[in-house]
Amino acid sequence: MAEPAPRRIVVVGGGVAGISLAHYLLRHTLPTSTERLGLQYSLTLVSPSSHFYWKVAAPRALVEANQSTAEPFVAIADGFQEYHASQFTFLQAEATSLDEKDRILHTRLPKTNETTAIGYDFLVVATGTASHSPLFSLSGPHTKTQFELGQMQTRLRDAQSILVAGGGPTGVETAGELGATSNDRSGAERSITLLSGGSRLLSHASPGTSTTAERMLSQLGVTVSHGVRVTSAIQRERGQSWDITLSDQSTQTVDIYIDATGSAPNSAFLPPGWLDAKGYVKTDQSSLRVNDTVGVYALGSVTNFTNGSFFDAIEPVRPLADSLRDDELAMNPDKSYQTQSWWESVFGRRTRTYQQKVSLTQFVAVGREGVSGSSGAGECRALWYTKLRQGL
């Protein structure tokens, strides 16, 4: 009698959420299910880029003239060499559409534009979001972002006027890095302006954190402006200055304009019924199951409950794995009892759920040595930049 075909798990997204989940499933969930259910599994990780982009390092990378633009990128496949080829496949491809009825994901290969179809039994959406600027997220092969970082490094050397739009963590960190770098350079004084776009910086953090961040930026020579937004930004020619129009109808010309105003979910390939009005995946927060479908899960910043934090990418990994395990057991009810461990037979099988933290934990690097942030009700000041990076 022929052995049944392996159960197919497809994870779409090569960021923190997708990679973390793939490792957890391969190391923990799937070996246990294979041992207890007698089923084989194959996991395919799909990403349009061959490399993972550590976006936390982007503000430092774009201003560090002596840093290689290759440093924030890591080859995804290199991190999965411990798994057998029958268990894991990495596919560099862009997800283009999905057939919900036949459970098929359609993709396009980046170099040849060849299309390929991948069948799945379980699907995980971890595609994240795309920033408005090509500096802060991947939009295809990592070489595109690497090129943009290199171009920015070159242009920043001689730039005298810089405008950063966006008062969130990315905008604050970018302005802080620019300010710290300007203090180290010689020559004419450089003007750096950060537009918060609202009444204060870091609107999701506590007012104390916002005040601390603005004070630190001021000490670095960054001018922070509130209550105005960029309504038009036109670059005269690539590599040349920008003509900027603001919401108060004022205009200015700057050498460098950096858009750090936000992002949009990478969800265009999914059925419209899975998405909310803004394009985020409608997901049950506790179980990470996608609403109104079966065998589909989502985590990270593409979900409709996310606050965009690092914790929303990694903390749901175990609860999602438990949901997938439970759904597999529900498909094999005759084996559910025999798959229990002694502990589970006595105390019951544990299914973890995800509960998003009500109090926001956020640390934002401001310059080279300062950090403004909050953890619960407490304020965090003057932490070392290097310790923050190592902790993440």
* 93-135 confidence digits (pLDDT tens): 999 999 999 999 999 999 899 999 999 999 999 999 999 999 9
Q: Report pLDDT for 364.
A: 65
The residues, ordered by sequence, that sit 6+ positions from 148 with a Cβ below 8 Å of its Cβ are 134, 135
142: left (phi over 0), alpha (psi -120 to 50) or beta: alpha
Q: Report pLDDT for 332.
A: 77
- Residue 233: closest CA among 130, 163, 315: 163
Q: How confident is the model at residue 294 (pLDDT cuts 50, 70, 90)?
A: very high
Q: Report pLDDT for 36.
A: 81
**CB count in 10 Å sphere of residue 28:** 14
User: For 144-189, what is each residue's pLDDT tens digit?
Assistant: 999 999 999 999 988 999 999 999 999 999 999 999 888 666 556 8
| Confidence check: pLDDT of 336 > 70 | no
Q: Which residue has the tokens 């601390």?
A: 212
**Burial classification of residue 171, based on how many CB atoms lie within 10 Å of its CB (0-12 exposed, 13-18 middle, 19 or more buried):** buried
Q: Which residue has the higher pLDDT, 366 or 304?
A: 304
> Which amino acid, one-letter code, is at 193?
T
Q: Report pLDDT for 282.
A: 99
In contact, 200 and 170? CB cutoff 8 Å: no
Task: Tell me the angle at which helices 317-331 and 16-24 cross, rounded to the nearest 10 degrees.
Answer: 50
Give the Cα separation of 55 and 388 in Å (integer).
14
| Confidence check: pLDDT of 382 > 50 | no
Take residue 211 and report the two structure tokens written for it.
């005040």
**CA dihedral in degrees (335, 336, 338, 341; nearest 10)?**
150
206: helix, coil or strand?
coil
User: For 221-237, what is each residue's pLDDT tens digit?
Assistant: 999 999 999 999 999 98
User: For 295-311, what is each residue's pLDDT tens digit?
Assistant: 999 999 999 999 888 88
Give the Cα separation of 4 and 41 in Å (integer).
10
Give the Cα separation of 92 and 115 in Å (integer).
12
Q: CB-side exposure of 307: number of CA atoms within 13 Å?
A: 17
Take residue 84 and report the two structure tokens written for it.
């057998």
| Confidence check: pLDDT of 82 > 90 | yes
Q: Report pLDDT for 31.
A: 94
Q: Report pLDDT for 76.
A: 97
Give the Cα separation of 141 and 139 in Å (integer).
7
- The DSSP result for 124-170, as a single string, is EE---EEESSTTSS-SSSHHHHHHHHHHHHHHHTT-SEEEEE--SHH
| Confidence check: pLDDT of 347 > 70 | no
Q: Which residue has the higher pLDDT, 350 or 257?
A: 257
Q: Report pLDDT for 131.
A: 95
Q: Report pLDDT for 17.
A: 97
Which of 273-282, 330-339, 346-355, 356-365 comes out lowest in average pLDDT?
A: 356-365
Sheet holding 370-375, edge to edge: 361-366, 370-375, 378-381
For strand 296-298 and strand 122-125, is the pairing parallel, antiparallel, or unpaired? parallel
Which of 12-26, 248-262, 299-313 comes out lowest in average pLDDT?
A: 299-313
| Confidence check: pLDDT of 346 > 90 | no
pTM of the predicted protein model: 0.88
In contact, 351 and 362? CB cutoff 8 Å: no
| Confidence check: pLDDT of 340 > 80 | no
Q: Report pLDDT for 20.
A: 98
The radius of gyration of the chain's CA atoms, rounded to the nearest angstrom, is 23
| Confidence check: pLDDT of 376 > 80 | no
Q: How confident is the model at residue 35 (pLDDT cuts 50, 70, 90)?
A: confident
The residues, ordered by sequence, that sit 6+ positions from 293 with a Cβ below 8 Å of its Cβ are 100, 274
Mean pLDDT of 356-360: 64
| Confidence check: pLDDT of 345 > 70 | no
> Which amino acid, one-letter code, is at 390?
Q
Mean pLDDT of 236-257: 95
Q: Which residue has the higher pLDDT, 141 or 362?
A: 141
| Confidence check: pLDDT of 381 > 50 | no
| Cross-strand pairs, 99 | 104
Q: Report pLDDT for 363.
A: 55
Q: Report pLDDT for 331.
A: 86
Q: How does the average pLDDT of the chain come out, rounded?
A: 87
Distance set, CA 13 to CA 49, 231, 299 (Å)? 9, 32, 10
Q: Report pLDDT for 365.
A: 66
Give the Cα separation of 122 and 11 in Å (integer).
9
Q: Report pLDDT for 390.
A: 31
Q: Report pLDDT for 239.
A: 79
| Cross-strand pairs, 130 | 264
Q: What single-letter DSSP state applies at residue 26?
A: I
Q: Report pLDDT for 79.
A: 96
Mean pLDDT of 268-289: 98
